[in-house]
Structure 1
Amino acid sequence: MSLEHRNYIGGDWKESSSGTTFEVVNPANTSELVGCYQASTSDDTEEAIAAAVAQNSWESTSPVQRGEFLSTVARKLDERKQSATKTLVREEGKTRAEASGEVQRAIDIFEYYAQKTRDLGGTVKAPSGGRSKLYTKREPLGTVGLITPWNYPIAIPAWKIAPALATGNTFVLKPASAAPGPARILFECLDEAEVPDGVANMVTGAGSSVGTPLTTNSDIDAVSFTGSTAVGTAVAQSAAEDLTRVQCEMGGKNPTVVMPSADPKEAAEILGAGAFGTTGQSCTAASRAIVHEDVYDEFVDAIVEYAAGIEIGPGLENPDMGPHVNRDELHSTLEYVDIGIEEGAILETGGQELTEGVHADGLYIKPAVFSGVDNEMRIAQEEIFGPVLAVIEAEDFEHALGLANDVEYGLSASIVTQDYTEANEFVDRIEAGVAKVNEKTTGLELHVPFGGYKNSSTNTYREQGDAGIDFFTSVKTVYENY
């Protein structure tokens, strides 16, 4: 089987005009080459955009037919679930269980939007005069640019692609270079399902040559981006120059508040899963535990025990935690561990790179827990994107809530409490797009909106559920006299 993979443009698998490729290696064994992908140029991206714009039959296809197509894609992906899971593990580093769950989520997303096509339409309103009609209708935007990250390399493309297709749009996808393989498998499913030429296009490569044209080309009618706040802000600013519709979901510094009524061990299990699952490489990962002083010491002991007991290894062996996706991400996490120590926080456990035995050829770190953290420290304010948890002491509920809101981000937040009043006060007053009670900050249902507040989002449109339909359509109001 060839390790070199091509772009998908206008219904054909094509090499880049650059004539060069880039390599993706297994983060569990960096000497293992997983695949070579096209190092595409801006010309390749422009070709893909032109192919998408030239396609004019998808919009006129009935919504029910588009739904049947999405169901076919879901079935094709289900047939490839095992290979897609393995590819995701070998490129991104997730454990087998995490990767399998992500692939299943992508399948479910396509099935969900397949059914949603039957609900596409508008609303009928009562007109002011007689012998007239007043109603709305939804129309596709046209051609959209989709830019997706490496940490959920098949789920996030799915939750952008499926609603875009369901509503009659054509698109160009730029997957992240660190793990483009799962998106490539998804395109193989689209191709096998006989997607019309030009409807779906994928171009791999650097953001400067592939991502930039998707935000600056006047033929792009909307841009949906998921990634860092710095890049997302630049994407939004670039798209805004042409008044292009934009949706950016970005970083997070997510808190979990632990109150005295909570069982410290149960709270540690909730927080540990949210902080260290997917190696902490999730925008919704818990990176701050804000703990009431009455249970602070017990919680620290419990979360240290939890972190120290995590089994770390190659994802295909299905440990508790896999490696970082690449060396840059690992070094960034290790740097933040050093920063925490320099700032005066107490490193209770972990934070060391693992370099021996089964870990010798991979990009591993022991999950780190810091206590004695002040909310002004960098490890309490900046997104780390690795398995590092800062534990902060709070005097009471009001103090804890203030600490939780005292960051530039507002993506996901949770509280662990048995006090009904505290739970509802938290939900009402937390500055986050996702609020949870007695749950980890990670994990999302696919049929409800997802998005953040403050610097976690452009605060324009949400993703998933009905919100996904909203972003990819325009509403036309019709006045009809007869």
Structure 2
Amino acid sequence: MQALKYKNFINGEYVESSSGEEFLDINPADSDDVLGSFQLSTREDARYAISAALEAQEKWAETPPAERGRILIKASEILDSMKEELVTTLTREEGKTLNDSRVEVNRAVSLFRFYGVLASRIRGESIQSSEPRTHIITVKEPVGVVSVITPWNFPIAIPSWKIAPALACGNTVVFKPASYTPLIGYMLVEALVKAGIPKGVINFVTGSGSTVGLEMITNKNVDAITFTGSLEVGEEIRRLSSTSGKNVRIMLELGGKNPAIVLPDADIDRAVEMVARGAFGLTGQVCTATSRAIVLDKIAEEFTKKMVEKARKLKVGNGLREGVDLGPVVGQRELEKVLSYINVGVSEGAKLLTGGKRLTGGEYDKGYFVEPTVFAEVTPDMRIAREEIFGPVLSIMTASSFDEAIEIANSVDYGLAASIFTKSLDKAFEFMGKIKAGVVKINKPTIGIEIQVPFGGYKKSSSETFRELGEAVMDFYTKIKTIYIGY
């Protein structure tokens, strides 16, 4: 059976790439399951999309905020009506379980509703002047054309939390999804089209980061770039964005090496459950995944034993099947990276307690499945304790005191999320103050965020320019104009 062919969406029309080439979208759990073929677009295609967004931007900015919000809320309703199709597509395309896909799709529905409402609440200030017969006000205006470049691990939620506020503020968007997960992004754009989005306001271009992405970063008509992905790519975007000849606004979210500290007074069973959820949930392919469990010596043996037992009970398989706890990693390159880090851990002297191998045999041979992996005797200088792995791998580290645990937690280049498990209010508050992370959890897993509050990291986890989500992200998508009125 021939794969369905999907086109780019530019200037209100579905169009083929100027390259005439395509790439396949394949289920990472089942290589026989081809979801479709997508356009292998060129820089010329990206330029066309950017010019369409530029042409549409002024009229969209002049559209009353309530009308912009109405379209976003309508898109939310359409996404809600497509929910089951979206859930199945997301699991087939990215590999996560149906339960995890359902959570993500619901998040996308909520995001468009949330920012649809906020569209009418964009406001400036009225400020007293120091001069007589003078009034000062500020207004917020859209930044212009926004390049939205998103990862494969949350391929409908992350585009939603970037695109919805961008549109709410009156910007136009060029959207490039990850090449592993273009279909769910295509369906998101379809919902906006059905909701009545004007032509040129949302543009969808598939292809590689080195071609489409490069144009979206360096084109002089782009006013802002928002990217979520790896540290290496993010740093390259930061460098390249300065070559466009204009002051381009950037917002980068780039990953983490997230710790969970477990103190002796913690509920050990709960801590094991929460740390396992953070480490192995979504196959560890989450920027906020728990990759380091820092356990005080007194309880290290008990915690480690229970964590190994927990990891061995987890069921790995095709996310479409009932009872599966974690699906595959998303592709061959990611599989090789995870297995390589496991080998690095062993060679560095860490003790491999469980897992560590690719699962094979039967349906496993058609996908990229890795056993949940637990290391012990991991020290802060090891690469597996310092570098992002992005797979189901947990390093258990020990500390002799609370202060040492904090020191270990803060010793890496990243600072996205961190959690602590304790019954001590004093230690919880001390942790909040001393930990260098943008998202802090008490007796909860590092994964899991809410849309109504800011999200972002410290250190190399973020550009630290603006925060995503909540009302805070509206600052990224708007510029402030100060107006003096004499009378």
| TM-score, normalisation: structure 2 | 0.98
Paired residue for 1:66? Answer: 68
d(CA) in 1 for partners of 2:325, 2:442: 24
- Aligned residues of 2:61 and 2:170 also touching (Cα < 8 A): yes
Query: Given the alignment of the two structures, is residue 259 of structure 1 paired with residue 263 of structure 2, yes or no?
Result: yes
- By how many angstroms is 1:131 displaced? 2.8
One-letter code aligned to 1:398:
D
Paired residue for 2:416? Answer: 411
Query: Given the alignment of the two structures, is residue 472 of structure 1 paired with residue 472 of structure 2, yes or no?
Result: no
- By how many angstroms is 1:453 displaced? 0.8
Paired residue for 1:45? Answer: 46
- By how many angstroms is 1:30 displaced? 1.2
- By how many angstroms is 1:187 displaced? 0.6
- Aligned residues of 1:414 and 1:438 also touching (Cα < 8 A): yes
d(CA) in 2 for partners of 1:479, 1:34: 56
Query: Given the alignment of the two structures, is residue 426 of structure 1 paired with residue 431 of structure 2, yes or no?
Result: yes
d(CA) in 1 for partners of 2:77, 2:471: 23
d(CA) in 2 for partners of 1:243, 1:138: 18
Query: Given the alignment of the two structures, is residue 389 of structure 1 paired with residue 394 of structure 2, yes or no?
Result: yes
Query: Given the alignment of the two structures, is residue 350 of structure 1 paired with residue 351 of structure 2, yes or no?
Result: no
- Aligned residues of 1:265 and 1:303 also touching (Cα < 8 A): no
2:445 aligns with one of 440, 443, 447: 440
Paired residue for 1:230? Answer: 232
- By how many angstroms is 1:2 displaced? 6.0
d(CA) in 2 for partners of 1:79, 1:130: 57
d(CA) in 1 for partners of 2:50, 2:426: 52
Show CA shifts across 1:360-415 (max 9, x none). 31111110000010111011011000000000000000000000000010011110
2:303 aligns with one of 299, 303, 308: 299
- By how many angstroms is 1:68 displaced? 0.7
Give SS of 2:37's match.
strand
d(CA) in 2 for partners of 1:256, 1:273: 12
Deviating above 4 A after TM superposition, structure 1's stretches of 4 or more consecutive aligned residues are none
Give SS of 1:31's match.
coil
- By how many angstroms is 1:122 displaced? 0.4
Give identity over the alignment, percent. Answer: 46
d(CA) in 2 for partners of 1:446, 1:373: 34
- Aligned residues of 2:3 and 2:35 also touching (Cα < 8 A): no
One-letter code aligned to 2:418:
A
1:272 aligns with one of 276, 283, 293: 276
d(CA) in 2 for partners of 1:123, 1:414: 37
Alignment of 1:310-389 (within 5 A): 310-318=314-322, 319-389=324-394
d(CA) in 1 for partners of 2:242, 2:444: 37
Paired residue for 1:143? Answer: 145
Give SS of 1:295's match.
helix
d(CA) in 1 for partners of 2:307, 2:14: 49
- Aligned residues of 2:279 and 2:291 also touching (Cα < 8 A): yes
- By how many angstroms is 1:3 displaced? 1.5
Give SS of 1:379's match.
helix
Show CA shifts across 1:159-182 (max 9, x none). 000000000000101110011111
- Aligned residues of 2:358 and 2:369 also touching (Cα < 8 A): yes
- Aligned residues of 1:16 and 1:38 also touching (Cα < 8 A): yes
Give SS of 1:315's match.
coil
- Count of aligned pairs between the two proteins: 482
Give SS of 2:154's match.
coil
1:80 aligns with one of 76, 79, 82: 82
Q: Which moved more, 1:39-48 or 1:261-270?
A: 261-270
d(CA) in 2 for partners of 1:3, 1:82: 20
- Aligned residues of 2:318 and 2:328 also touching (Cα < 8 A): yes
d(CA) in 2 for partners of 1:78, 1:263: 38
Show CA shifts across 1:273-292 (max 9, x none). 00000000001000000000
Paired residue for 1:13? Answer: 14
One-letter code aligned to 1:269:
E
d(CA) in 2 for partners of 1:265, 1:358: 33
| TM-score, normalisation: structure 1 | 0.99
One-letter code aligned to 2:461:
S
Paired residue for 1:246? Answer: 250
- By how many angstroms is 1:339 displaced? 0.9
d(CA) in 2 for partners of 1:130, 1:73: 48
One-letter code aligned to 1:51:
A
Paired residue for 1:309? Answer: 313
d(CA) in 1 for partners of 2:370, 2:427: 36
Paired residue for 1:481? Answer: 486
One-letter code aligned to 2:115:
Y
Alignment of 1:17-32 (within 5 A): 17-32=18-33
Give SS of 2:124's match.
coil
- Aligned residues of 1:153 and 1:182 also touching (Cα < 8 A): yes
One-letter code aligned to 2:220:
S
Give SS of 2:199's match.
coil
- Aligned residues of 1:59 and 1:169 also touching (Cα < 8 A): yes
d(CA) in 1 for partners of 2:484, 2:219: 34
